[in-house]
Homo-oligomer: A and B are copies of this chain.
Amino acid sequence: MQTLEIITLSGGLGALLTAALAAKSVLRRPKGDRKMIEISEAIKTGASTFLRRQYSSIGLFVVCAAVLLLLAFGWQATVAYICGSLSSMLAGYMGMRIAVEANCRTAQGALKGLQEALQIAFRSGLVMGMLVAGLAVLGVLGFKSWLIDPEKLLPFSFGASTVAIFGRVGGGLYTKTADVGADLVGKVEVGIPEDDPRNPAVIADNVGDNVGDVAGMGADLFESFVAQMIATMIVASVAGLASGYVLLPLAIAGIGTLCSIVSALTIRPRSKNPSYILNFASILSMVLTAVFVAFLSYVLFSSEVIKITVPVVLGLISGATVGLASDYFTNYLHNPARHVARSALTGSATNILSGYAVGLFSCILPIIVIAGAVVLAYSINGLYGICLAGMGMLSVTAMVVSADAYGPVADNAGGIIEQTGHGVKREVTDALDAVGNTTKAISKGFAIGSAALTAIALFVSYCQLVELDRLDLLHPTVVAGAFVGAAVIALFSALVVMGVSRNAFRMVEEVRRQFREIPGLREGKAKPDYGRCVDIATRGALKELVLPALVIILSPFLVGVSLGKEAVGGMLMGSITLGLVFALQMANSGAVWDNAKKYIELGNLGGKGTPAHQSAVVGDTVGDPLKDAAGPSLNIAIKLMSIVALLMALAGIV
C-alpha cells in the first residue's frame, strides 16, 4: 500500500513547503518605521527570553525522561522521545519567530489598508499551522517506517506531550501573569491605558499573546494530532487489521493537510468581513477532506468506503459543531454574550453568575455531539471507527492552527499601532481585532473537542494494550478510579488557578517597584525595565507549573500501582468526562465575560467608564486565568494522563 505512504509524505512535505513560502512572503514585507521596529524588537527579545528559558527547562526534563526511557525501553524509544519533543519545539520556535516578525509588518501594512494587513497576518499564521501539521505527519510517518510497531511510537507522542505541558500550561501561566500584572498596577493603580509603553509589564503582556495562543495552541494540537495518529494505528494493529488500515490514519492526516493547503490558498482578504473568509476556508478544507477520504477509500478499500468515510465525516462535523457552538455562546453578535453584558447592569455578581451559567450551557451541545459521534462511529466500525472519527476531526489541524495563530499577530499589530500613535483607520484595527476573536473561540473549542477525542482514542488503545476485554463499572476499583480521575482534574485546575494568582502577585510587586524606583517613568521620561518583567513572569510560570504537572504524571502511576489496571482505565474516563466539562465551561465562561466587556466598550449599555463596564471588567478578570490558563491546560492534562497510562502499560507496570 505505498499509495498511502505517498499521500502522507506529500501532505507533510507540502505543508513544510507552504510554511517556507508563507514565511518568505511575510519577511519580504517592509518592517515599518523606527518606532514600530523598536516595539517589535522588544516583543521579540521578550519572546526569545521566554522561549530560551522555557526550552532549557524542557531540555532538563527531556534529559531526565530520556534516561528513564532508555532504561525502560531501550535506545529507540529514547530517540523517538527526543525527536517528538524536538519537532514540537521546532514548530513552536519557528512559528513564534515568524509571528514576532509579522506584527510590525502587519502594523505597517495596516497603513496601506485592511487587505494588506490581513494578508500578512494570515500568512504568518499559516507558517505555524503548516509547521505543526507537516512536522507531525512526517515525524509519525518516519518513525512508523523505522520502528514498524505502532506502540513503539508512543515515546514520540510523549515527547510532544512534554512540550505541550510546558507550552500550554506554562504558557498559560505566563500569559495570565503578565496580563493580570500589567492591568492591576497599570490600569487600576497608576491609571495609564492598556498597552501603554510606560507600563513595565506591557511587553511581557504582548509576548504573552504569542506564548499562549501561538506556541501553546500549536504544541497542544501537535500533541493531539500525533497522539491521535498513533492511537489509531495501535488500535488497528492490536485488532489485527491489515496493514492498509494501520497506515490509513496517516493517509487521512496527509489528505487533511493537503486540503488545508488548498483551502488556505483561497484566502484573499477582499471582503470587509474577514472572519467570513476564514470560516469559509475552514469549512472548505473539511468538505474537501471528506470528499478525498471517500475517494481514497473507494479506490483502495472499495467495500469499506462507508465504514471509513462516515466516521471521518462524523469527526469533521463534531469539530465544526464544537467550534461553532463556542462561537455562538461567546460572540457578542449573539444573544448569550449580550445577556451577560446586560446582567452587568446590576453589578459584578450578576455578571459573573450569568457568565458562569452560559459556560455551563455551552457544554451541552458539544458533549452530546461528541457522545453521538462516538456511538455512531462505533456502530459503523467498532473501536477503530471511534479512532477514525478523531482522525477526521484532527485531519484539518493545519487549517485550524493557521486560522488561530493569525489572531495574536493581528492583536500585537493593533497594540503596536496604538503605541506608535499612527493614523491608521479605526475600522482597520477594529476589523483586525474582531477576526482574531472569532477564530480564537472556534479554535479553542476545536482544541478541546479534539483533545477529548484523542484522549478517548488513547483510552481505547490503553485498554487494548493491557488486554482489558472489558472495563466494568460494577467493579468498584473502576468506579473509584473514575472518582479519583475527577478529583485529579479538580486538583489540577485549582493548582493552575492558584498558580496564576501567586505569580501575578510577584509581577504586581515588580511593576510597583519600577514605578517607585525608576525616576521619570510615570511621566514617560525614562524607559521601564521590560526584561525583568518578562523574566519574572517566565520563571514564575515554570515554577508554578511543577506541581500541576507532577499531579498529572504521577496520579496514573499511583492509581495503577495501588488499585490496578482497571482503576487506571476508570481514572482515564473520569478525567476525560470532568475535563471536557471543565475545559468547555472555563473557556466559554471566560470568553463570554471578555466579549460582554468588549460589547460594552463598543458603546452599548452606557459604554466605557460606567458602573456596568466596571462590573464587566471584574467578570473579564475572573475569566482570564480560567479561559487562558486552566481551561486550555486541561486539554493537555487529559491527554498526558492517557499517555502516561500507555507508557506504564508498555513498561509492564500495570
The residue in chain B whose Cβ has the minimal distance to the Cβ of A386 is B476
B363-A487 in contact (CB<8A):
yes
| Majority DSSP secondary structure for residues of A touching B | helix
B357-A494 in contact (CB<8A):
yes
A465-485 CB contacts (< 8 Å) to partner B:
468-474, 476-484
Q: Closest approach, in angstroms, between the C-beta of A590 and any C-beta of chain B?
A: 11
A484-499 CB contacts (< 8 Å) to partner B:
484, 486-487, 490-491, 493-494, 497-498
A337-375 CB contacts (< 8 Å) to partner B:
343, 346-350, 352-354, 356-358, 360-361, 363-364, 367-368, 370-372, 374-375
Question: What 0/1 readout, one digit per residue, does chain A (551-576) give for beta carbons within 8 Å of chain B?
Answer: 00000000000010000011001100
* CA distance in complex: A497, B491 (Å): 24
Of B353, B360, B375, B487, the contact of A622 (CB 8 Å cutoff): B353
* CA distance in complex: A350, B483 (Å): 29
**A456 at the A/B interface (Cβ < 8 Å)?**
yes
Of B474, B570, B578, the contact of A578 (CB 8 Å cutoff): B578
* CA distance in complex: A481, B577 (Å): 11
**A581 at the A/B interface (Cβ < 8 Å)?**
yes
Q: Closest approach, in angstroms, between the C-beta of A315 and any C-beta of chain B?
A: 14
Known: A470-B470, A483-B580, A484-B368. A494 touches B622 (CB 8 A): no
Of B349, B478, B483, B585, the contact of A473 (CB 8 Å cutoff): B478
**A625 at the A/B interface (Cβ < 8 Å)?**
yes
* CA distance in complex: A501, B479 (Å): 36
Residues of B close to A480: CB separation below 8 A? 371-372, 374-375
**A618 at the A/B interface (Cβ < 8 Å)?**
yes
Residues of B close to A379: CB separation below 8 A? 476
B364-A491 in contact (CB<8A):
yes
Q: Closest approach, in angstroms, between the C-beta of A627 and any C-beta of chain B?
A: 12
B470-A474 in contact (CB<8A):
yes
A501-B375 in contact (CB<8A):
no
> Among the interface residues A372, A471, A478, A508, which one has the most CB atoms of the partner chain B within 10 A?
A471
**A96 at the A/B interface (Cβ < 8 Å)?**
no
Of B343, B371, B460, the contact of A483 (CB 8 Å cutoff): B371
The residue in chain B whose Cβ has the minimal distance to the Cβ of A569 is B473
What is the total number of residues of chain A having a CB less than 8 Å from a CB of chain B?
Answer: 74
Known: A349-B618, A361-B494, A375-B480. A367 touches B486 (CB 8 A): yes
The residue in chain B whose Cβ has the minimal distance to the Cβ of A372 is B480
* CA distance in complex: A218, B356 (Å): 29
A501-B343 in contact (CB<8A):
yes
A353-B577 in contact (CB<8A):
no
B368-A494 in contact (CB<8A):
no
**A55 at the A/B interface (Cβ < 8 Å)?**
no
**A378 at the A/B interface (Cβ < 8 Å)?**
yes
* CA distance in complex: A346, B581 (Å): 29
**A420 at the A/B interface (Cβ < 8 Å)?**
no
* CA distance in complex: A621, B343 (Å): 14
**A463 at the A/B interface (Cβ < 8 Å)?**
yes
Residues of B close to A508: CB separation below 8 A? 346
**A7 at the A/B interface (Cβ < 8 Å)?**
no
Residues of B close to A377: CB separation below 8 A? 476
* CA distance in complex: A76, B608 (Å): 65
The residue in chain B whose Cβ has the minimal distance to the Cβ of A577 is B486
A573-B364 in contact (CB<8A):
no
**A649 at the A/B interface (Cβ < 8 Å)?**
no
Residues of B close to A494: CB separation below 8 A? 357-358, 360-361
Residues of B close to A484: CB separation below 8 A? 367-368, 371
* CA distance in complex: A581, B479 (Å): 14
* CA distance in complex: A372, B501 (Å): 32
Known: A352-B622, A578-B581, A618-B349. A364 touches B476 (CB 8 A): no
**A70 at the A/B interface (Cβ < 8 Å)?**
no
**A184 at the A/B interface (Cβ < 8 Å)?**
yes
A96-144 CB contacts (< 8 Å) to partner B:
none
* CA distance in complex: A607, B478 (Å): 49
Residues of B close to A364: CB separation below 8 A? 487, 490-491
Residues of B close to A569: CB separation below 8 A? 473
B473-A370 in contact (CB<8A):
no
Q: Closest approach, in angstroms, between the C-beta of A541 and any C-beta of chain B?
A: 17
Residues of B close to A477: CB separation below 8 A? 375
Question: What 0/1 readout, one digit per residue, does chain A (291-328) give for beta carbons within 8 Å of chain B?
Answer: 00000000000000000000000000000000000000
Known: A474-B460, A577-B577, A581-B578. A479 touches B371 (CB 8 A): yes
Known: A353-B625, A501-B343, A501-B353. A486 touches B578 (CB 8 A): yes
Q: A354-B498, A357-B501, A471-B472 are in contact. List 12 more A-B contacts (CB 8 A).
A: A349-B622, A352-B618, A353-B625, A360-B491, A361-B491, A363-B487, A367-B487, A372-B480, A456-B479, A469-B474, A470-B473, A482-B577
A-B contact pairs, 10 of them (CB 8 A): A346-B508, A353-B625, A357-B493, A367-B490, A368-B484, A374-B480, A470-B470, A482-B577, A486-B581, A618-B618
The 10 residue pairs across chains A and B that have the minimum distance between CB atoms = A349-B621, A360-B494, A371-B480, A378-B476, A371-B483, A471-B473, A367-B487, A470-B472, A357-B494, A357-B497
* Chain A residues at the B interface, C-beta cutoff of 8 Å: 184, 188, 343, 346-350, 352-354, 356-358, 360-361, 363-364, 367-368, 370-372, 374-375, 377-379, 383, 386, 456, 460, 463, 468-474, 476-484, 486-487, 490-491, 493-494, 497-498, 500-501, 508, 563, 569-570, 573-574, 577-578, 580-581, 585, 618, 621-622, 625
